[in-house]
Amino acid sequence: MAGATASDYIKHHLQNLTYGKLPAGYERTDGTVLSQDTWTMAHGAQEASDMGFMAIHVDTMGWSLFLGALFLFFFRMAAKKATSGVPGGLQNFVEMMVEFVDQSVKETFHGRNKVIAPLALTIFCWVFLMNFMDLIPVDFLPQLFHMAGVEYMKVVPTTDVNATLGMSLSVFALIIFYSVKVKGVGGFLGELTLHPFSSSNIFLKILLIPVNLLLEGVSLLAKPVSLALRLFGNLYAGELIFILIALLPFWAQWALSVPWAIFHILIITLQAFIFMMLTIVYLSMAHEDSH
């Protein structure tokens, strides 16, 4: 499955299963020359790169949807079997998660919006499940898929910046939507152009608009970027360490992977919590009416 060298092994494990279009006349890695534009699976990193922006990371999409469906399945099962009597283990766990997220929202979110708590619960559980895939031995699932004829398989969606940026852009869209809804278009634009510097002098106020727009614009755009890169960077680094440990002799793998996995449980939980809390904070700021 992997190449003969450590470099090949690492590159193989960091390569996504990519589906995209290669142009007519393209020479593939096996020497085949395409006679027409072809949608196909990439054979290696170069083909994946040549597919361009419209290429899809099938493994990232597949595992993200699967883990999202898994979250919905268990929480729906707990809701259907909920009882006012002695609760089962699943109901206890779901109630604990709901209370934890609900308390976090009450302490942080100061507006009124019924969407925030369910959104926060979904983000925390979904991101945690995607992060948790990092604790599965790095060769286990890729080897199973390799036996089934699938050459590449990255099973941790949050180690793909496309996934984390996609989630953060969704949060960013909600920030813009609620900012405009609560403050109005004028209020939203006023925050971008009249803060943090203001003046009672109309001419000075106009002169300060470009400065304010630059500062507030950078601050606004930094929210989705930092949200995405923080999660991606931490999980990518964790995955890379597991891959490096897998290159060691068998006896050394257990000596290093178990302590790192135990420590990594804290990391994957903390990153899910941070993504959730920052989402709540950003949406709380969007609901603050400056008037």
Q: Please identify every residue annotated as catalytic.
A: 226, 230, 234
The angle formed by the CA atoms of residues 281, 285 and 289, to the nearest 5 degrees, is 155
d(CA 226, CA 217): 14
Which SS3 state, helix, strand or coil, does residue 41 take? strand
Peptide bond connecting 196 to the previous residue in cis, omega within 30 degrees of 0:
yes
First and final C-alpha spacing in the chain: 61
224, 225, 226, 229: CA torsion to nearest 10: 120
d(CA 271, CA 269): 6
- Match 């943090």 to its residue by tokens: 196
Ramachandran region, residue 247 (left: φ > 0; alpha: ψ -120 to 50; beta: rest): alpha
DSSP per-residue codes, 99-127: HHHHHHHHHH--S--TTHHHHHHHHHHHH
d(CA 180, CA 208): 22
d(CA 287, CA 114): 13
DSSP 8-state secondary structure symbol assigned to residue 247: T
- Match 């969704």 to its residue by tokens: 170
- Residue 193, both tokens: 């152009």
